[in-house]
Amino acid sequence: MPKPQKHVFVCSQTRPDGHPRGCCAQKGGSDLLQAFWKELQKRNLFDRISVTYSGCLGPCDGGPNVVVYPEGVMYSQV
């Protein structure tokens, strides 16, 4: 299997209700991950793009967060 050209990490971090930082899972991170996977399947891009869940990427108040490599670009409020 060839190495994907892009690797997308989607924050799916969970925290207890009321945690001061909140979490991407409560802001739709898990649903976003599923949406990425569905689009990859629909467009037959699994050999070019890898999408995986990740833990906390940092800016929790702006979640859900996504980072794309090899560029290292982060997207918030996706």
Give the pLDDT confidence of 5-24 residue by residue, as tens digits.
999 999 999 999 888 888 99
Is residue 29 within 8 Å of residue 13, measured between CB atoms?
yes
Portion of the chain with pLDDT greater than 90, in percent: 74
Dihedral sign, CA of 17, 21, 27, 32? negative
Quote the tokens at residue 46.
């699994």
Quote the CA–CA distance of 78 and 36 in Å, as a whole number.
11
Q: In order of start, what are the domains of the chain with their CATH numbers?
A: 12-75 (3.40.30.10)
Give the pLDDT of residue 1.
66
- Single pTM value for the model: 0.89
Give the pLDDT of residue 62.
85
